[in-house]
Amino acid sequence: NAGVTQTPKFQVLKTGQSMTLQCAQDMNHNSMYWYRQDPGMGLRLIYYSASEGTTDKGEVPNGYNVSRLNKREFSLRLESAAPSQTSVYFCASKGQGETFGFFGSGTQLSVL
Amino acid sequence: GENVEQHPSTLSVQEGDSAVIKCTYSDSASNYFPWYKQELGKGPQLIIDIRSNVGEKKDQRIAVTLNKTAKHFSLHITETQPEDSAVYFCAAKIGGAGSQFYFGTGTSLTVIP
């Protein structure tokens, strides 16, 4: 099925550990996004990539890095995880038109 | 950046009644306003959207209205059903294809059978 695939679905880290969240889309979309979702705060943009080869900071980029590996894949890295990064992370992609409707199923991350 | 406020944060309605969720935005340059439904354990799903050159859009039991002068837009669900229970998010976008989307804080809708 076409869509946005995120891995892993769940992850528990200790403070200071690193990890990479993977995201891939098979819809030939140019733009890809990483959001975090916290209770009562909606979705906040961490980083986005408007096209292959470009990345830009969103609202809450501190503590994260991203890589747009190719047109399909956009990864999010936590170099030294902190408890404040406990959240649900969503990857999304968008094609040329306005419609923004393709989200992955999320990664629930806990940092102890 | 844009600031999107969403109200109410929780909403309970009886099955068959209507539900209305309202959002306001701060930047008059915002030009695209999608609405999402998020069920437990899943990612947001686009349910309807509206562009700044349109005042109202309907899709079966769901409608969205936009008032550019007042900078607010609303989601209307009629004849609610238990399967409409979910968290609903509004969003706003400024600019062209690679622009950012700004989300509201969500409304938890419960439809009581």
Question: One digit per residue, pLDDT tens: chain A, 112 residues?
Answer: 569 999 999 999 999 999 999 999 999 999 999 999 998 888 999 999 988 989 999 989 999 999 998 999 999 999 999 999 999 999 999 887 767 778 999 999 999 9
A18 Cα to chain B: minimum distance (Å)? 24
pLDDT of residue B52: 86
Nearest by Cα to B73 from B87, B93, B97: B93
Segment B58-113, tens digit of pLDDT: 999 999 999 999 999 999 999 999 999 999 999 998 776 567 788 999 999 999 99
Sheet holding B62-67, edge to edge: B4-7, B19-25, B72-77, B62-67, B56-59
Nearest by Cα to A43 from B91, B108, B51, B103: B103
Neighbour count for residue A11 (Cβ, 10 Å): 17
Segment B7-48, tens digit of pLDDT: 999 999 999 999 999 999 998 889 899 999 999 888 999 999
Contacts of A51 in chain B (CB under 8 A): 98
A8 Cα to chain B: minimum distance (Å)? 14
pLDDT of residue A101: 76
Cα A64 to chain centroid distance, Å, stands at 10
Cβ–Cβ < 8 Å for A55, A47: yes
Distance separating alpha carbons of residues A62 and B104, to the nearest angstrom: 21
Residue of A31, A58, A90 with shortest CB distance to B43? A90
Residue in B closest to A43 by C-alpha:
B103
